[in-house]
Amino acid sequence: MPLTLFILKRFAGLVALLLVLSVLVFFFSRAIPGDVAALYVGGNAKPEQIEKARIELGLDKPLYIQYQRYMGRLFKGDMGLSLRSHRPVLKDLSEKIPMSMELVLLALLVAILLGIPVGGIAAIKQGTWLDEVIKWFTAAAVSLPIFFLALLLQLVFFDLLGWFPLQGRLDSMLEFTHPIELITGFSFIDSLVTGNFTAFFNVIWHMVLPVAALTLGPIGFIARLTRSSLLEVMNQDYILAARASGISEGVLYFRYGLRNALSPILTVIGLMVALLMLNTFFVEIIFNWPGIGYYALIAITSLDFPALMGVTFTIGTIYVLANTATDVVRRLVDPRIN
């Protein structure tokens, strides 16, 4: 199948997935008892006002009509107003997504940069004490629950040692003296391109603990996978032949072995993005990081349906896109895949 057709098929799949998700979230979320109109009005709202809001929000109509209207607006690029912030959901999301993505992408980068070499070393040193240590470390990294890990990091590096900040993405005082201008929404990029180095280093400093909490599991996962995948490849006949012809071990592992071992690792990286998106929910709440996870938490606790739908679409889209990108890269790396 040509690559373009493959990508097109994936996009068709994405649209179908989003449709199914939209039905599920729309109808399930409305099955929760809660008076959305009353929440929208806020405070000690009076009955007449609640009734008025119900009509304004279209909640007086049957559910399937509400859904029809919602989808109609969605195709025009309108996700409605958040009941909580009274701002367009799309605007809220466009501010929150980059903040989560900077954590997720950085964590992914660290996981790849550390996970593959650590796994490679374990494979090369198979059976030695180093392999054992790595095995223990990666097992712990994979099995620690993320919220526990995040709290543990906070306890050790903020409460006990005081090396890293407790929360947020910028020192409060820097918000007065060196505020970050909003350009892309990625705070470390925005601060860098505006020459705001004070804020840039401060942001990096604030990212250390949340990224560490996010990346530890994926490091373990990628390392374990790299190790087993590499060992499997290294037992293949063609490696044996290459070794017999006197090619050095280093070249063998990294040029012939790793390249062929990469395919399953790349598959996992796509899944990893989805996992990281999910884990960032916990991390953002613990570190008060104002990304999409924090936004979703507020949306859930205040029954902010339009925002919740927006979050669902976003996560669904990111998930599919990450998987598609992975498959494309896999095809490029390994021509056998069709």
Partner 1 sequence: MKQMMKCLVFILAAAILAVPASAMEKNMVYSSPYNITTLDPSVSYSTESQYLSNMYESLLKVNPPGSKEFYSYVLATGFSASDDGLVYTFNLRKGVKFHDGTPFTAEAVKFSVERTTTIGKGAAFIWGDLKEVQVVDDYTVKIILKSPAPLPMIAAAADGSYIMSPSVGDKGPEWFNEGNDAGSGPYTLKSYKSGESWILAKFDGYWGGWDGKHIENILVKYTKEGLVQLKMLQSNEAMLAGRIPIDSIPKIKAAANTTVLEGPSYTNYLAFFNTTRPPLDRQTVRKALAHAIPYDDIIKVAFNGAATQARGPVPKGQFGHTEDVIQYEYNLDKAKRLLAQAGFPDGGFKLTLTHAAENVSHGRIASLIQSEFKKLGIEVEVKSIVWTSQWAMAKGDPKEAQDIFLLMWWPTYSDPYETLYTLLHNEKDKPVWNLAYYVNPAYDNMIRKAYEMTGINPDKALDLYIQAQNMVQKDAPVAWLVDKKAEWPMNKKLKGFVVNPAYTATPFFYDMYLE
Question: What's the rounded Cα separation, in Å, for the pair 6 and 329?
Answer: 12
Q: Which tokens in the block code for residue 31?
A: 């099955």
**Orientation of helix 258-286 relative to helix 146-154, angle to 10°:** 70
How many CB atoms lie under 10 A from the CB of residue 113?
A: 13
Residues with Cβ within 8 Å of residue 283, at least 6 apart in sequence: 103, 146, 150, 210, 213, 214, 289, 293
CB of 11 to partner 1, least distance (A): 31
Q: Is 322 exposed, middle or buried (0-12, 13-18, 19+ CB in 10 A)?
A: buried
Of residues 213 and 272, the one with the C-beta less far from partner 1: 213
Q: How far is the CB of 203 from partner 1 (least distance, A)?
A: 10
Gap between the Cα atoms of 109 and 102, Å rounded = 11
Shortest distance, position 38 Cβ to partner 1, whole Å: 7
**Integer Cα distance of 231 and 251 in angstroms:** 15
Residue with Cβ nearer partner 1 (304 or 327): 304
In this structure, the number of other CB atoms found within 10 A of the CB of residue 23 comes to 12
Phi, psi values for residue 196, rounded to 5°: -90, 75
Q: Which is nearer to partner 1, 200 or 221 (CB)?
A: 200
Closest distance to partner 1 from the beta carbon of 131 (Å): 34
In the complex with partner 1, the residue whose CB is nearer, 26 or 289, is 289
CB of 168 to partner 1, least distance (A): 7
Contact 287, 66 (CB under 8 A): no
Shortest Å distance, C-beta 202 to partner 1: 6
Q: Which is nearer to partner 1, 107 or 174 (CB)?
A: 174
- Cβ nearer to partner 1, comparing 301 with 338: 301
Query: CA–CA separation, 5 vs 10, rounded Å?
Result: 9
| Residue 296 beta carbon to partner 1: minimum distance, rounded to whole angstroms | 11
Interface residue list for partner 1 (CB under 8 A): 32-35, 38-39, 41-50, 52-53, 84-87, 92, 95-96, 158-159, 166-168, 171-179, 197-202, 205, 285-286, 288, 290, 294-295, 297-298, 301-303
Which of residues 198 and 317 has its CB atom nearest to partner 1 in the complex? 198
